[in-house]
Amino acid sequence: MGRAKHAKQNKSRKALAIVATIIIVALAVLVFLYRDKLTFFKTESSDEMADIISESEPFTYETGAEQFFSLMGSNLTVASSTGLQLLDSDGKTVSREVFSMTNPSVCGNDSTCAVFDVGGYCLRIYKDGQFEDLDCDNEIISVSVSKNSYYAVAACEPGYKGSVTVYNSDLAPIYKWYSGTGYILDAAVSPDGETLAVLCVEESGSLVHLFHFDSETEFASSSLPGELAFRLSFSQDGNFCILSEDAVHFFGPKGQELSSYGFEGNFLADYELGSEYLAIVLSKYVSGSEVTLLSFGSGGKQLGNVSLSAEPLSISSQGQKLLVLGSSDLTLYSKNLDTLKQNHISAGFSSAVLLPKGNVLLLSSHYGERCSMS
Average pLDDT of the segment spanning 111-123: 96
Among 259, 256, 280, which Cα is nearest to 268's? 280
Residue 305 has a pLDDT of: 96
Residue 57 has a pLDDT of: 79
Kindly state the DSSP code that residue 310 receives in the 8-state scheme: B
First vs last C-alpha separation in the chain: 78
Q: Side chain identity at 186, as an amino acid letter?
A: D
pLDDT in tens, 299-344: 999 999 999 888 999 999 999 999 999 888 899 999 999 999 999 8
Residue 285 has a pLDDT of: 84
- Confidence bin at 27 (pLDDT 50/70/90): low
Burial class (CB in 10 A: 0-12, 13-18, 19+), 335: buried
Q: What percent of the chain has pLDDT over 70?
A: 84
For 320, the 3-state DSSP assignment is coil
Judged against a pLDDT cut of 80, whether residue 184 lies above it is answered with: yes
Burial class (CB in 10 A: 0-12, 13-18, 19+), 287: exposed
Judged against a pLDDT cut of 50, whether residue 10 lies above it is answered with: no
Is residue 279 a contact partner of residue 317, using CB atoms and an 8 Å limit?
A: yes
pLDDT in tens, 49-70: 556 666 667 888 877 777 889 9
The Cα–Cα gap between 96 and 279 comes to 32
Residue 263 has a pLDDT of: 97
Judged against a pLDDT cut of 50, whether residue 44 lies above it is answered with: no
Strands 339-344 and 50-51, bridge-based pairing? parallel
Kindly state the DSSP code that residue 214 receives in the 8-state scheme: T
Residue 89 has a pLDDT of: 84
Average pLDDT of the segment spanning 117-135: 94
Judged against a pLDDT cut of 90, whether residue 151 lies above it is answered with: yes
Residue 31 has a pLDDT of: 52
All residues at 6 or more sequence positions from 2 whose CB lies less than 8 Å from its CB, including other chains? none
Average pLDDT of the segment spanning 5-16: 33
Which sequence spans correspond to the domains of the chain? 3-372
Judged against a pLDDT cut of 70, whether residue 229 lies above it is answered with: yes
pLDDT in tens, 211-221: 999 998 999 99
29 vs 129 pLDDT, higher one? 129
The Cα–Cα gap between 248 and 260 comes to 6
For the chain, the average pLDDT equals 86
Among 53, 86, 102, 110, which Cα is nearest to 330's? 53
Q: What percent of the chain has pLDDT over 90?
A: 68
Residue 53 has a pLDDT of: 64
pLDDT in tens, 245-272: 999 999 999 999 999 999 999 999 999 9
The Cα–Cα gap between 302 and 310 comes to 21
Residue 298 has a pLDDT of: 95
The Cα–Cα gap between 153 and 162 comes to 10
Strand pairing partners for 271? 280
The 3 state secondary structure assigned to the chain is CCHHHHHHHHHHHHHHHHHHHHHHHHHHHHHHHHHHHCCCCECCCCCCCEECEECCCCEECCCCCCCEEEEECCEEEEEECCEEEEECCCCCEEEEEECCCCCEEEEECCCCEEEEEECCCCEEEEECCEEEECCCCCCEEEEEECCCCCEEEEECCCCCCCEEEEECCCCCEEEEEECCCCEEEEEEECCCCCEEEEEEEECCEEEEEEEECCCCCCCEEEEEECCCEEEEEECCCCCEEEEECCEEEEECCCCCEEEEEECCCCEEEEEEECCCEEEEEEECCCCCCCEEEEEEECCCCEEEEEEECECCCEEEEECCEEEEECCCEEEEEECCCCEEEEEECCCCCCEEEECCCCCEEEECCCEEEEEECC
- Confidence bin at 358 (pLDDT 50/70/90): confident
Judged against a pLDDT cut of 50, whether residue 14 lies above it is answered with: no
Judged against a pLDDT cut of 60, whether residue 29 lies above it is answered with: no
Judged against a pLDDT cut of 70, whether residue 45 lies above it is answered with: no
CA angle, 171 then 37 then 227, to 5°: 85
pTM score, whole prediction: 0.85
Residue 366 has a pLDDT of: 86
Q: Mean pLDDT check: name the lowest of 4-18, 24-38, 98-112, 276-290.
A: 4-18
Judged against a pLDDT cut of 90, whether residue 30 lies above it is answered with: no
Residue 7 has a pLDDT of: 32
Task: Determine the CATH number of domain 3-372.
Answer: 2.130.10.10
